[in-house]
Structure 1
């Protein structure tokens, strides 16, 4: 009954879903492409043997890389069907995997749409990255005898409370899962409490994503071109944060410093450029040219170059953490050997953040004023930055191995599910 009411609710809000697509398409027209796929209608030819991996957007698509490489190696006769929900996720999939995977949008969670999805593709099994729980999708997977696992699963205390309020709807969905590979013991406990079975802690796949050597070399070239200028990177910033970061940049007394500002969402690049201009700051865009001596802010309006930005930076602030948005992932920064600052709000990546701070790879600041002071203090101390760089590299290396543990877990669960 709960799933029936949920499905009726989805049908009722269909006009709102379309309005949201149109709203997003104002800044990113690709949202109006492949619309049929959002309802389970696909045009591309389908190979006979498929393994399905769902990665909702950019972060999950990149995190899936070591897992997808492992799946291709362990099931060499199969192709990977990679689904996502956003145009940027799809573009990232094209950039990272090329023609090695088949890409499509996962349909909205209407009963008919998800049934068409499974009838069309009939995968051997499915892997959902992180925490993508869709009641009708998982019920249809069970009906079509497709075992589905959750990989790299994380669930914050806040999200667990939200799911808990929908227990009659989500507990059966969690119960359908053939297995859950969780990032931490806390994630595993919260997922089990919501009804997930066969939960195992395998670690965070993002530690196994190796930064592109080409991107690292590109970042070092950028740094060389700047001479001795200190570089502070504000990475993956979210709406409302850029103004605060510009305030902190003005407050930090670091002669000749360059702020590299990289918004998380590409549809906001123009908005952030206008904000920088309104502050009277001399800005250059990555898409236009390299920064020159007069440039105060370099706007990173490019996709797929975050490793280059980290390699360029002396110090990085991780966005999403100044405001109560949960923070973004600091693991890529550590893998690039970049010292990190985080704000007070890191509940999306709590364990990784706490571990990085304990290892000396990151520091937490509690306000905009503290951010400016920390930037000023660290950029003025070559010894402290060198120590944090070494700690970041050690921290990233120490946490590798999640991909192999997750692959072994998936093999066991698939074998068990198909007995």
Structure 2
């Protein structure tokens, strides 16, 4: 299996370069990796100090890493912190504005052995963190060859992952190369111990730390507050077409609300089409004024959503009917009950089932069930109980980043 894996990454870059003229997404994926090693060497020449490396797949995993990154910088401010992304969508989002505590942002090279060796040599970290699941064999082996400690944080393991499948023996090498694995839940601990790995502990989901920090200090957004006045607000985060099919009748039935909708796709076409089906006035944020009387505001930019939840009475988070549920913890961090579509693969989104069990998350599968839960949340007693449940659940899950940093200190891994 090792030979097949190496052969795959020897051959696949050439194949991808052959077909990249026919795909703008693939071209973007490959071109972004064109000068990784050179850029990294230049950075290290100017920043030769002690360095900690975090690798994430995309934006969601970066959000999980941020509380640990902030904690490291607070405790050891002299550290240089580098974050690498596999996905262009995550990289593109983060690189657009300065990231407090992060000194350098890069792509991860494809997992060819020679490229991984070059990357780790140029990076020269004293400690590496991988977040949740995006583990690459040759990069991890390059770290171990150089005796660099490696942690996996916010791990959420499932029986159907590659570590436990037909070729599990090969992929389990990534797990057994870890100096410590911090999991989100007991099920992951049980799976690890079932394959004989015991350097692990439950730290929890660092996203709770992140959403609590956002809720404690959101962007003020005074123009939004002015427009809302004293009317109740529903915030819709990451709306897809399938979500809006359910939501449009609800919006038409409740024109008294202010509806703030952040679409997954920022192109004008879907927003214009949705607006044409609504019986209330709509505006896009880019051509809107706080004095406008519109009931619906489409947020056609990136970066506002997490702070918009501060104004919500109820939130709806999209994606469950499509590629996957987006972050329901952001509204819950503000104590806002959240509605979402029926999740297809519950094991991938354990927070959805847990929020339902806690009484602050509500799953819907059609227009009828959406109206039913919305009407329940209009009942003061039911609503207040949901708010209280959200606040208690988030509070009970805080401290994951602190537990990780305690282990780093205990092992003396940062100089």
If the TM-score is normalised by the length of the shorter chain, which range does it land in? Answer: 0.7 to 0.9
Runs of 4+ in 1 over 6 A off after TM superposition: none
Distance, in Å, in 2 between the alignment partners of 1:304 and 1:120 is: 32
User: Residues 294 and 7 (structure 1 numbering): CA distance in 2 closer, same or farther, change over 3 Å?
Assistant: farther
Q: What TM-score, normalized to structure 2? A: 0.84
Determine the structure 1 residue equivalent to 2:326.
328
CA offsets 1:373-416 (integer angstroms, 9 cap, x no match):
323442x334433332233222211211111111122344565x
Unpaired runs of at least 5, structure 1: none
Determine the structure 2 residue equivalent to 1:151.
153
- Conservation of the 8 A alpha-carbon contact between 2:234 and 2:315: yes
Q: 81-90 or 335-344, which moves further after superposition? A: 81-90
Determine the structure 2 residue equivalent to 1:247.
246
Measured after TM superposition, the shift of residue 143 of structure 1 is 1.6
- Conservation of the 8 A alpha-carbon contact between 2:81 and 2:101: no
User: Residues 313 and 410 (structure 1 numbering): CA distance in 2 closer, same or farther, change over 3 Å?
Assistant: same
- Conservation of the 8 A alpha-carbon contact between 2:237 and 2:315: yes
Distance, in Å, in 2 between the alignment partners of 1:20 and 1:384 is: 53
User: Residues 108 and 39 (structure 1 numbering): CA distance in 2 closer, same or farther, change over 3 Å?
Assistant: farther
User: Residues 274 and 389 (structure 1 numbering): CA distance in 2 closer, same or farther, change over 3 Å?
Assistant: same
Measured after TM superposition, the shift of residue 128 of structure 1 is 0.7
Determine the structure 2 residue equivalent to 1:60.
61
Determine the structure 1 residue equivalent to 2:142.
140
3-state SS, counterpart of residue 368 of structure 2? helix
> Within 5 A, what are the aligned runs for 1:17-416?
17-18=16-17, 19=19, 23-25=23-25, 34-37=32-35, 42=40, 44-46=42-44, 47-90=48-91, 91-92=93-94, 95=97, 97-98=99-100, 100-158=102-160, 160=161, 164-193=165-194, 196-209=197-210, 210-211=213-214, 215-218=218-221, 222-237=224-239, 241-251=240-250, 253-264=253-264, 268-270=266-268, 272-277=270-275, 279=277, 283-290=282-289, 295=294, 297-323=296-322, 325-345=323-343, 347=346, 350-378=349-377, 380-412=378-410, 415=413
3-state SS, counterpart of residue 286 of structure 2? coil
CA offsets 1:119-164 (integer angstroms, 9 cap, x no match):
1011001001111111111122112222211011112444x26852
Unpaired runs of at least 5, structure 2: none
Q: What TM-score, normalized to structure 1? A: 0.83
- Conservation of the 8 A alpha-carbon contact between 2:223 and 2:290: no
Distance, in Å, in 1 between the alignment partners of 2:274 and 2:348 is: 29
- Conservation of the 8 A alpha-carbon contact between 1:40 and 1:114: no
3-state SS, counterpart of residue 181 of structure 2? strand
Distance, in Å, in 2 between the alignment partners of 1:23 and 1:372 is: 41
* CA RMSD, 1 decimal: 3.3
